[in-house]
Amino acid sequence: MALTFYWYPKCGTCRNAKKWLEEHNVAFQEIHIVEQPPSKEELKELYQKSGLELKKFFNTSGKKYRELGLKDKIGTASEEELLELLASDGMLIKRPLTTNGENVTVGFKEDQFEKQWL
């Protein structure tokens, strides 16, 4: 099954991840994370399958994250509120977000991709 690869083309980390997938002949469908962000339901499913804390799904180095002052809100917001926020703007989501329907990776670390997608 091909991976679903949510990415932002101007993001260097995303371009590196895409290059890695191509070099390792991993089939994937790319989705522009800003033009077609995952829905709240999709994000909830990805979050639950990832085994990660929900705050790991936030692009904490992004301009939008800082503008909205989310650093202070993340600790007190409910899971529902956090999922709503993530679904509202693809720029808030840490990228690339990669899944095969069962496993999920957030961001790009070569060793993590090797372990998960090869």
In this prediction, residue 25 has a pLDDT band, given cuts at 50, 70 and 90, of: very high
Domain range holding 9?
3-117
57 CB-contact burial (10 Å; exposed 0-12 / middle 13-18 / buried 19+): buried
Q: Is residue 83 exposed (0-12), middle (13-18) or buried (19+ Cβ within 10 Å)?
A: buried
3-state secondary structure of 59: coil
Q: Which residue has the tokens 């703007």?
A: 89
Total structural domains within the chain: 1
Position 1 pLDDT exceeds 90: no
CATH of the domain at 48: 3.40.30.10
Confidence of residue 28 (pLDDT cuts 50, 70, 90): very high
CB 36 within 8 Å of CB 5: no
In contact, 48 and 21? CB cutoff 8 Å = no
The pLDDT value given to residue 100:
97
